[in-house]
Amino acid sequence: MSPTRLLFLCTGNSARSQMAEGWARKLASAGVEVWSAGTHPAGVNPLAVAVMKERGLDISAQRSKSLAEVPAETDYVITLCAEADAQCPILPARLERLRWHLPDPAKVEGNEEEKLEAFRTARDRIEGLLRELFASPAFSD
């Protein structure tokens, strides 16, 4: 049986999709392959790295990738920002597309703690969405 392939897509592939990749690698069963990519990769956001470390997940070795760097044969594409929908190239119609439009924590203005809180909110929301997804019949053995 071939693995289920899951791609998280967000324009910059810097915060939301990187956190989703980190959570998915921890929470997914052995038969799930996980990637993240962006239409305009911009590097992994250091605040995303910091808040994931608070939860015991190290995403510092992850790197921002373009769509050309991930397998074309993907089963699920999850967009995490509205911008990705508008800027996505045509992807095969057979793909299951999920849209989790989460606010970009990198756009929050304020002091360091306010910015970190925005990243924590995104991190925790992504974790909850992934726990729901992996508990669904599509991912249950």
Helix ranges (H only) for the chain are 16-27, 46-54, 82-87, 112-135
Known catalytic membership, residue 109? no
Catalytic residue among 6, 20, 44, 81: 81
Tell me the C-alpha to C-alpha distance, in Å, between residue 28 and each of 47, 106, 121, 134, 137.
24, 26, 21, 7, 13
**88 annotated active-site:** yes
Q: Catalytic: which of 27, 88, 106, 116?
A: 88
Cβ neighbours around 22 below 10 Å, total: 27
Q: Which of 6, 7, 9, 10 is catalytic?
A: 10
Q: How many residues does the chain have?
A: 141
Which residue, chain included where needed, has tokens 């756009």?
Answer: 107
CA-derived radius of gyration, the chain? 14
- Rounded distance, CA 118 to CA 103, Å? 9
Residue 50 has which token pair? 């910091």
Give the active site residues: 10, 81, 88
